[in-house]
Amino acid sequence: MSNTFDALKVRYFPLIFASGWTWNLSRWGVSFIGPFVANDLTGSARMVQLAGVALWSPLLFGGVVGGWVSDRFDRRKIVIGQFFVTIPGLIILGWIELAGRLQLWMIYPVLFLTGVGWVFDMVGRRVIVYDVVGPEKIDNALAIESSGTAISLALGAVAGGSLIQALSVGWALIFMGCLQVISLAAFTAVPRLVRRQQATAVGASALLEGIRMLRTEKGLISILGVTAFVNFFFFSATPLLQVVGGKFNVGPALLGLLAAMLGIGMFAGSLGIAHYQPRRRGLLYVVGSYIAFVFMTGFALVPLYAASAAFLVLAAVGMGFFGSTQSVLVMDAVSEQHRGRALGLLSSAIGVLPLGMLAVGEIAEVVGA
């Protein structure tokens, strides 16, 4: 596996990776805690899905704006700035829960702000990664990023469930806020870097130019179409892991472990991409999607905890293929000065997820998860 971690040898990439990893660890922990609180307080699939909607909805419309901001302004300052919104929100909500004053409605604005922070982290930090490692190692770098995201998904879910069971929801939220403090410290250690190419358009014209790319960049459209489809029909069901897992009558720690299977499978798929660095990215992108859908169906139908976890791991391997190739396909589909806007459009395609969550939540409310 001598080539698997090549990008980590590039100066500053390890710091960027460490920052992204701890940020994602916090985000996935929050994405477990939010639906858990909603399910614990209401037992309603609709309210559980609304927690997911709050977290993911900023991507739908914020992606285009975030991509334009990333291309127009200092990406480093943008990434740093979002921490000063997300960290206080998590810590304050944690203290409210410890004081015994937590109400259901309070989790939704904090989840929304975390989603806003994710938009700016995604469109800013990933383009900085391209600037740091260059086109020669971007496949390897983003596959490493994707594998790190997968591990953070697994550990975030386990940590969220375990902290809730051992301590409380409040301490779990404060812990997630502290992880973001670590992420901020790692990222601020990266100096301001010169972009490989500056954006040429400014103001509203640049914002509209990002939208017009949907008409002119045919390759980009096909990639975004697959992304939107997968997020609407696959990832929209992930908050319901809390509800589906309830049929096994297990505690929050084992529920977290079940959710962690998604991260473990994605890690395996992403690590395979990082090691072999395949040329046919588009094929893996689509095949990975099919694998995920097939095995997710098995996860929903089997009556045993262990079998359900195994199906979830296999579905997630497909998502590892999908996630590892997604961003680099998007960035390679456009010119250098448009990469931030292209990633913004990608986050908007991912942003159809809350619409899927609303649909799945209503279906689950009527017919069951």
Contact 86, 180 (CB under 8 A): yes
DSSP class of residue 74 equals -
- pLDDT band for position 196 (50/70/90)? very low
pLDDT for the residue 68: 57
Instruction: Specify which of 70-84, 111-125, 144-158, 176-190 reaches the highest per-range mean pLDDT.
Output: 176-190
Burial class (CB in 10 A: 0-12, 13-18, 19+), 204: exposed
- pLDDT band for position 96 (50/70/90)? very high
Burial class (CB in 10 A: 0-12, 13-18, 19+), 368: exposed
Average pLDDT, the chain: 76
| Statement: residue 201 has pLDDT above 60 | no
Tokens of 340: 């931030």
pLDDT for the residue 184: 92
Q: In whole angstroms, give the CA distance from residue 308 to residue 258.
A: 8
pLDDT for the residue 341: 66
Instruction: Specify which of 25-29, 147-151, 216-220 reaches the highest per-range mean pLDDT.
Output: 25-29
pLDDT for the residue 204: 46
pLDDT for the residue 339: 63
Instruction: Give domain limits for the chain.
Output: 6-367
SS (H, E, C) 224-287: HHHHHHHHHHCHHHHHHHHHHHHHHCCCHHHHHHHHHHHHHHHHHHHHHHHHHCCCCHHHHHHH
pLDDT over 90, % of the chain: 8
- What is the pLDDT averaged over residues 197-226? 60
> Tokens 């037992």 sit at which residue?
43
In 10 A of CB 9, how many CB atoms?
10
Tokens of 153: 């998904």
pLDDT for the residue 183: 92
CATH class of segment(s) 6-367 = mainly alpha
| Statement: residue 307 has pLDDT above 80 | yes
Kindly report, residue by residue over 248-257, the tens digit of the pLDDT: 776 767 777 7
Q: Which of 128, 140, 21 is nearest to 75 (CA)?
A: 128
| Statement: residue 359 has pLDDT above 50 | yes
Tokens of 85: 């919104």
Kindly report, residue by residue over 59-93, the tens digit of the pLDDT: 766 655 655 565 566 777 888 888 998 999 999 99
Q: What is the DSSP string of 163-207?
A: HHHHT-HHHHHHHHHHHHHHHHHHHHTSPP---SS-----HHHHH
- pLDDT band for position 364 (50/70/90)? low
